[in-house]
Chains A and B, each alone.
Chain A
Amino acid sequence: MKKILSAVFLSVTSAILFSCSQESLPVSENVPVQDAGKEFVTGKMNIKLSEELADLVEADLAKAGAVTKASSAELESLYQSMGIVSIGKLFNDDGGNFAGRHRKAGLNRWYEITYDPSVPLTKASGDLSSVPGIDIVEPVRNIRLTGRFNDPGFPNQWHYYNDGKLGSKHKSGADINVEPVWENYTVGSDKVIVSVVDGGIDLQHEDLAGNCVSGNRQHFNFVDNSYQIVAHDHGTHVAGTVAAVNNNGIGVSGVAGGDHAKGISGVKLLSCQIFKTDPDDPSKDLGGSGAAAIVWGADHGAVISQNSWGYSYETQEDASKGKIDASLKDAVDYFIQYAGCDDDGNQLPDSPMKGGVVIFAAGNDGWPYGAPANYDPIIAVGSIAPDFTRAYYSNYGDWVDIAAPGGSAEYDKGQVYSTTPGNSYGWMQGTSMACPHVSGVAALLVSYFGGIGFTNEMLTDRLLGGANSTALAQNTKIGPLMDALGAFTYGGTIAPDPVTSYEVEAVSNNIDMTWTVTRDEDDRKAFGYILVASQNRSSLENPDFRSLPADVTSRTVLVGDLNVGDGISGRISGLDFEKTYYVGIAAYDYNRNYSDLSSIKTVTTLGNNPPSITVEYDGYVPGEVLQIKSFEVVRVPVAVSDPDGHEFSISLDSGSEAMQGASEPSSGKYVLTVTGNAAEPGTYTAVLTATDSYGAFTTLELPYTILPNRAPVIVKDMENMIFTSMGERTTIDMSEYIQDPDGEQLKFDISISNRNVLHINPSGNILHVTSLGYGNCDVTIVASDSRGESCTLTFSVLIKDPLSSLELYPNPVTDFLNVRTGEGMDTRIRITGPAGQTIYDRTALVSAFSPAKIDMSGCAPGRYSVTVTYGGNEFIRTVVKL
Chain B
Amino acid sequence: MRKMKKNIIRFFIPAFCSTMLFPAAISAAPGGEAMPFTRVVRDPVAAAMGGTGVVSTSASAFASFRNAAAIPYAGNTFDVAAGYMNWQPSASPVQDINAGASWNIAGKFGIALGFSYGLCEKYDIMDASGTAIGSFSPSQVQANLGLAWKFLPFLSLGANVKYLENTLVEGKSYGAVASDIFLMTKVAGLKAAVGVSSLGSKVKSASGAGFSLPASATLGLGYGIGLGKKHAAEVLVDADYYFSGAFSASAGAAYTYNDLVSVRAGYRYGGKSVIPSFASVGAGVKFWGIHIDVAYIIAAGTSPLRNTFDVGLGYSF
Contact = CB atoms under 8 A, between A and B. Distances in A.
Interface of A: 717-725, 728-733, 736, 754, 757, 773-777, 794-796, 801-802, 804, 807-812, 814-816, 818, 820, 822-824, 830-840, 842, 844-865, 867, 876-882
Contacts of A775: 127, 129-131
Q: Which of A794, A812, A831, A844 has the most CB of B within 10 A?
A: A812
Nearest to A833: B31
Given A717-B15, A844-B21, A849-B15, A858 B273 contact: no
Nearest to B206: A882
Contact of B21 (A718, A811, A845): A845
A715 B162 CA distance: 67
A860 B205 contact: yes
Contacts of A811: 123-126
A835 B39 contact: yes
A845 B22 contact: yes
A378 to B, nearest CB: 83
Contacts of B206: 814, 861, 882
A882 to B, nearest CB: 4
B82 interface: no
Contacts of A796: 15, 18
B304 interface: yes
Contact of B132 (A804, A823, A853, A857): A804
B130 A730 contact: no
B36 A862 contact: yes
A880 B14 contact: no
Contact of A722 (B9, B124, B168): B9
B30 A838 contact: yes
B190 interface: no
Given A860-B31, A860-B33, A802 B15 contact: no
B36 A853 contact: no
Contact of B28 (A794, A814, A855): A855
A552 B44 CA distance: 137
A724 B203 contact: no
Contacts of B140: 834
A730 B2 contact: yes
B211 interface: yes
Contact of B128 (A809, A831, A862): A809
Given A840-B28, A862-B174, A882-B172, 8 more contacts: A729-B5, A823-B11, A834-B35, A844-B21, A849-B18, A880-B138, A881-B205, A882-B206
A720 B91 contact: no
B275 A835 contact: yes
Interface in B77-136: 88, 91-92, 94, 120-132, 136
Interface residues of B, number: 78
Contacts of B124: 811, 877
A393 to B, nearest CB: 69
Contacts of B14: 717, 719-720
Q: Which of A801, A844, A852, A859 has the most CB of B within 10 A?
A: A859
Contact of A882 (B4, B20, B130, B169): B169
Nearest to A832: B304
A739 B310 CA distance: 70
10 contacts: A811-B125, A831-B31, A833-B31, A836-B270, A836-B303, A839-B28, A849-B17, A859-B32, A860-B33, A860-B203
Contact of B126 (A777, A807, A858): A807
B38 to A, nearest CB: 9
B168 A863 contact: yes
A858 B32 contact: yes
Contacts of A836: 88, 91, 270, 274-276, 303-305
Contacts of A850: 13, 17-22
Contacts of B127: 775, 809-810
Interface of B: 1-5, 7-22, 25-37, 39-40, 88, 91-92, 94, 120-132, 136, 138, 140, 166, 168-169, 172, 174, 203, 205-207, 209, 211, 214, 270, 272-276, 302-305
B4 A863 contact: no
A812 B18 contact: no
A822 B120 CA distance: 28
A202 to B, nearest CB: 63
A847 B16 contact: no
Contacts of B303: 836
A834 B39 CA distance: 10
Contacts of A717: 14-16
Contacts of B128: 809-810
Contact of B26 (A809, A815, A855): A855
B207 A815 contact: yes
Contacts of B122: 878
Contacts of A754: 129
Contacts of B16: 717
A728 B5 contact: yes
A731 B1 CA distance: 7
A769 B26 CA distance: 36
B10 A722 contact: yes
A728 B206 CA distance: 39
A755 B168 CA distance: 31
Contact of A835 (B36, B168, B174): B36
B129 A878 contact: no
Contacts of A859: 28, 31-32
Contacts of A808: 126
Contact of B130 (A809, A823, A864): A809
Given A809-B126, A833-B31, A833-B36, A848 B11 contact: yes
Please provide the 8 A-B residue pairs with the shortest distance between their CB atoms, ordered closest to farther.
A850-B21, A839-B31, A860-B211, A865-B92, A775-B129, A809-B126, A835-B36, A878-B123
Given A718-B15, A850-B17, A861 B275 contact: no
Contact of B274 (A724, A833, A878, A881): A833
A862 B140 CA distance: 10
Given A850-B18, A878-B121, A857 B209 contact: yes
Contacts of B272: 837
Contacts of B203: 860-861
Q: Which of B3, B40, B130 has the most CB of A within 10 A?
A: B130
A692 to B, nearest CB: 58
Nearest to B5: A728
B126 A810 contact: yes
A830 B274 contact: no
A725 B7 contact: yes
B13 A864 contact: no
Q: Which of B3, B126, B136, B166 has the most CB of A within 10 A?
A: B126
A730 to B, nearest CB: 6
A730 B21 contact: no
A853 B27 CA distance: 10
A848 B22 CA distance: 12
Given A722-B10, A845-B22, A837 B275 contact: yes
Contacts of B126: 807-811
B2 A801 contact: no
Contacts of B10: 721-724
B137 to A, nearest CB: 10
Contacts of B33: 860
B85 to A, nearest CB: 13
